[in-house]
């Protein structure tokens, strides 16, 4: 959730949702519940399967690498720091290489 240009991290909930019939982990269900109950612009996920489900239900999402690119584009982080953050184990190689090329091209 964004407030005043900042990202807010919230606790997970265990309320049921329309997505309960899907095979999702507790955290993923919690994210979807929060998305449905609040004015959320975008979900950021480092999971490989979860974005496929988000795509099916037209829920806007980006991988972590995409969030890093957005931070750089909006002046919240410089290119050097963004490239450093791309080099973490939670970012898949194909996302890292693609986003790195975008950052270098800015």
Asked whether residue 53 falls in the same domain as residue 70, the answer is no
Judgement on whether residues 9 and 58 belong to the same structural domain of the protein: yes
Say if residue 89 is in the same domain as residue 78.
yes
Specify whether 59 is located in the same domain as 33: yes
Q: What is the pLDDT of residue 22?
A: 66
Cα–Cα distance between 95 and 64 in angstroms, integer? 9
> Which residue ranges in the chain fall short of pLDDT 50?
1-2
* pLDDT given for residue 98 in this prediction: 92
Greatest CA separation for the chain: 44
Direct distance between the N- and C-terminal alpha carbons of the chain, in angstroms, rounded to an integer: 27
What pLDDT was estimated at residue 55?
A: 87
SS3 67: helix
Question: Do 55 and 8 fall within a single domain?
Answer: yes
**Taking a C-beta distance cutoff of 8 angstroms, is the pair 99, 66 a contact?**
yes
């Amino acid at each position: 959730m964004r407030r005043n240009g900042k990202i807010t991290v919230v606790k997970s909930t265990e309320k049921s949702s329309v997505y309960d019939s899907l095979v999702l982990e507790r955290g993923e269900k919690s994210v979807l519940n929060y998305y449905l109950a609040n004015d959320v612009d975008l979900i950021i996920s480092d999971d490989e399967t979860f974005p496929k489900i988000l795509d099916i239900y037209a829920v806007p999402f980006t991988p972590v690498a995409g969030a890093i690119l957005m931070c750089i584009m909006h002046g919240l982080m410089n290119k050097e720091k963004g490239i450093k953050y791309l080099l973490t184990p939670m970012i898949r190689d194909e996302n890292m290489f693609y986003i790195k090329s975008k950052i270098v091209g800015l």
